[in-house]
Structure 1
């Protein structure tokens, strides 16, 4: 017997054009969105980490942006628009009659806080003839490419080749929470990827060569080869180590994957001393994670005057430094590491770091000094690798060099891609990689989609820091100006400012510096009833 019901959920007058409201449906919740004279109903919570979408941002072209991490959905269909959403929203039937809004659905479905639907095309279409899509890498870009390929109707084979021994994970959780079990942060289980997404997973393998003319990749130095129709290069990055004495001692850790998280987690015990080399976002997120463990000392060494100065500026960097100091962190800024000192009893173990002539005692060392694109395997392929290790791509993320540019894509940390303003950039951020994967999936599935997303990232710094664009309770909104235009926005404890700012930047409706100085509130700008955009979602 069907449990589908049609229920009056709200009076029409209570939902104005451009508004969203979370309303009860049975014992659960749904999200109502009104665009013009149309009312749409979807599941109410983001499929990423369950944020209430009603607190997000709605635009006139039908996008709802999560207030926490920038995931975006189409309210008309429930489809994913932007990463890091791992699954689409469920869309319910809504109609207006006699001044009342009705929704038709199974009330039990709405009890699931992250209620989502599978991609439109499931694995039943995945066994078609052909070599299909081969993805080198097992990170955010790889997973989102798979989801996007199936969501947009690609029916061919998909193969993921990953050096890691686990399925794609939410890598951001590693530095923020020191997760040591990949099963707790995997996007989908291996069984789901195989059965529901029709994906062939080959884990623990390394791609060591690419032959663009033969259209195949070499695995593990010639032990195997695999042919492709379309190739997506998403290998990510490799952590760097400083070229100094002691950089490779056993208890000097870089940070990238589960094994790194396991090492730091095991070392960060009560009473231990740690020296963190580098004041990057990853380094400082690890500082936040381990500062709760009653360590004897935490020393941070940075080259700039303040942490995050190059990205966020001096004022915000100073405020965040002050917060971390209130938690017992000691900073050694504008400093250079001379060497890492080994134990006399065990020459393989670090016992201190020498900086500015002073030796900081250490039971373990974390080296967070950046990463380099993992593109060594492209040597001899015909694809030109730039001096920084990146690969230049066009607006569709196709590689620009080599004999088969129409069938090879580079995404994520390795991609040097064109921005809307014409500049080329390479951004080492997980969310950019995810959205690269989504764009490429759409293009390969038959609907070419240029990459025009506004970069968004977030960081756990005692409070939640948000950024979009190219003890002491810190709270701020910062605008970054270039050539008399606002090009980026950062905030802390001001959600959903960055979600709104990313949409304003995308739509070309960002405030001017003069408007901000005059006191105009970014959140007051109407982007949900703009006539020129409303017609896009109809």
Structure 2
């Protein structure tokens, strides 16, 4: 370790509410942030994908939000505020002398390859008891573990995961077709055990929950795992269309690493690919394989343009134009009615029959991928005593504003399976975003550790490797108008989604940090009205970072 104190900037050059990235001893970088008369120094880059935090958003209540994916840190301590940050950032001491800002830091902690610090674990699982059992191994599980220990929960934590690896960055499966789980594990199984005191059991499948005895039933041998508190985080199961040929060997869905291995091995040069469904996962897979010199890529979608119900026709048309420029063929307002098996090998598909208003056509394929959404992975809960009134007809788990399963003591549900009330409206909705699962895991961990439930009110955020990187925040379902700034055809725009004369969601491309700022404005209830936006109001000009904004933020 080499700790040094260095003058990094004139005090007069950092104004209230401003952030600046400054050099520190050679290749080191530090982020300075001023809130009133207090100056804070932290790592300069996000621990998620390394975005420069100085280009993000600072708020008067001490949040610094990454400009790319919505990860958020406490600028005073470096602690995680919001997922998908997998680790906290460093916090450094500052003082003013001779009109200059001085920072005291270990020089190695200012380097970009050493962004994160070890979590401030208030507990590591030394206490006895049944503890917390988490069923599932995704984003919600990982962030719940982190939050439990960060907030002082010292009991046992047992994770029962159907997957055979530690929680991974699942977003990289569709975006990059990663086939080695060790490259995208947030923490290794060994680290979860030694540092967090987690009993991680992989490759196991839960068959039911015995609510009266508070036990989880595992596997065909009906092993019983007792719990004090249960967190259900089982995620989603990819849907398969109920059509002939949906189970042929070269017809794939995507959820885990085994799926990416099969898709990666099949989508090689010269092969013909058909993607059924124009969902985000479908179109990200198209991007991931588009450089492989496939013979053809065909997408079959029910809407007029991809993402129409989420992003609107104008943005969807712009993204479709982008994909067409890369050689993708679209068959929209159409549906796959049958997958034809090969005559030479009846176990494999050789074509897909596509129906539309224009008629029927047969498209030949070597690989077929179904990207038609996911269903809640809750089959194991059906018929369980205690869960009779906790599941809706889709299989989603009904939870209250604290993510507690309705009617059950000490049971929580998070992520893709949770049907939770939306802040402000109370509307029950299930949101399949990576960030939502992570933030719900963090919220649940804190509630369990501290015993003080707080309503889950985080603004949903997601991103997609479409065009020039799409950002999105809010809940825009059922929007009745779109205010467009810029041109989606040029892959540079801001789209404001309006419902009942309020902006409920924002999407952007090549306009960072607009969505990060929008998520904070939605959180604070300070989003401009549609009429203000139509008149040219600029989100980035709204003050939420200076001392003068504190009253609004509070």
Report if TM-score (shorter chain) is over 0.5. yes
Instruction: Name 1:38's counterpart in structure 2.
Output: 38
Q: Does 1:78 align with 2:84?
A: no
Instruction: Name 1:182's counterpart in structure 2.
Output: 181
Contact 2:318 2:490 survives alignment (8 Å): no
Q: Deviations over 1:212-235 (max 9, x none)?
A: 221110001343111111110000
1:426–1:535 distance in 2 versus 1, CA, 3 Å: closer
Correspondence for 2:527 among 510, 513, 522: 510
Q: Deviations over 1:62-121 (max 9, x none)?
A: 000001111000001111000000111111111223422111121222124442222222
- 1:350 and 1:475 mapped to 2: Cα distance? 39
Correspondence for 2:504 among 487, 496, 518: 487
Alignment of 1:60-209 (within 5 A): 60-121=60-121, 125-209=124-208
Q: Deviations over 1:120-152 (max 9, x none)?
A: 2266x4121111111000000000000111111
Q: Deviations over 1:458-478 (max 9, x none)?
A: 000132000000096411100
Structure 1 stretches of 5 or more lacking a match?
Answer: none
- Give the secondary structure class of the aligned counterpart of 1:5: strand
Q: Deviations over 1:327-346 (max 9, x none)?
A: 11110100121100001111
- 1:493 and 1:108 mapped to 2: Cα distance? 32
1:504 Cα shift?
0.4
Instruction: Name 1:400's counterpart in structure 2.
Output: 406
- 1:65 and 1:498 mapped to 2: Cα distance? 10
Alignment of 1:305-384 (within 5 A): 305-356=304-355, 357-379=360-382, 380-383=384-387, 384=390
1:349 Cα shift?
0.5
Alignment of 1:415-454 (within 5 A): 415-421=418-424, 422-446=426-450, 447-454=452-459
- 2:367 and 2:553 mapped to 1: Cα distance? 55
- Give the secondary structure class of the aligned counterpart of 2:291: helix
- 1:444 and 1:534 mapped to 2: Cα distance? 31
Instruction: Name 2:413's counterpart in structure 1.
Output: 410
Q: Deviations over 1:362-392 (max 9, x none)?
A: 0010011111000111121412210111011
Residue-pair matches, total: 532
Note the aligned Cα RMSD (angstroms): 1.6
- 1:4 and 1:512 mapped to 2: Cα distance? 49
Q: Deviations over 1:261-292 (max 9, x none)?
A: 01110111111001100000000000111111
- 2:503 and 2:316 mapped to 1: Cα distance? 19
- 2:234 and 2:280 mapped to 1: Cα distance? 21
- Give the secondary structure class of the aligned counterpart of 2:220: helix
- Give the secondary structure class of the aligned counterpart of 2:9: strand
1:175 Cα shift?
0.4
Instruction: Name 1:51's counterpart in structure 2.
Output: 51
1:495–1:387 distance in 2 versus 1, CA, 3 Å: same
Structure 2 stretches of 5 or more lacking a match?
Answer: 476-487
Q: Deviations over 1:442-461 (max 9, x none)?
A: 11111433210000000001
- 1:327 and 1:341 mapped to 2: Cα distance? 27
- 1:359 and 1:418 mapped to 2: Cα distance? 44
- 1:146 and 1:209 mapped to 2: Cα distance? 22
1:126–1:180 distance in 2 versus 1, CA, 3 Å: same
Q: Deviations over 1:428-454 (max 9, x none)?
A: 111110000000011111143321000
Alignment of 1:512-527 (within 5 A): 512-527=529-544
Correspondence for 2:462 among 453, 457, 462: 457
Contact 2:396 2:418 survives alignment (8 Å): yes
- 1:451 and 1:359 mapped to 2: Cα distance? 48
Runs of 4+ with >6 A deviation: 534-537
- 1:239 and 1:346 mapped to 2: Cα distance? 26
- 1:26 and 1:193 mapped to 2: Cα distance? 34
Contact 2:148 2:445 survives alignment (8 Å): yes
1:503–1:535 distance in 2 versus 1, CA, 3 Å: closer
- 2:284 and 2:202 mapped to 1: Cα distance? 28
- 1:34 and 1:381 mapped to 2: Cα distance? 55
Contact 2:467 2:491 survives alignment (8 Å): no
1:283–1:82 distance in 2 versus 1, CA, 3 Å: same
Q: Does 1:387 align with 2:396?
A: no
Greater displacement, 382-391 / 103-112? 103-112
- 2:456 and 2:221 mapped to 1: Cα distance? 34
Instruction: Name 1:251's counterpart in structure 2.
Output: 250
- Give the secondary structure class of the aligned counterpart of 1:259: helix
Contact 2:207 2:218 survives alignment (8 Å): yes
Instruction: Name 1:264's counterpart in structure 2.
Output: 263
Contact 1:121 1:154 survives alignment (8 Å): no
Q: Deviations over 1:10-50 (max 9, x none)?
A: 11101100000111121201111110111111111111111
- 2:373 and 2:553 mapped to 1: Cα distance? 41
Contact 1:60 1:534 survives alignment (8 Å): no
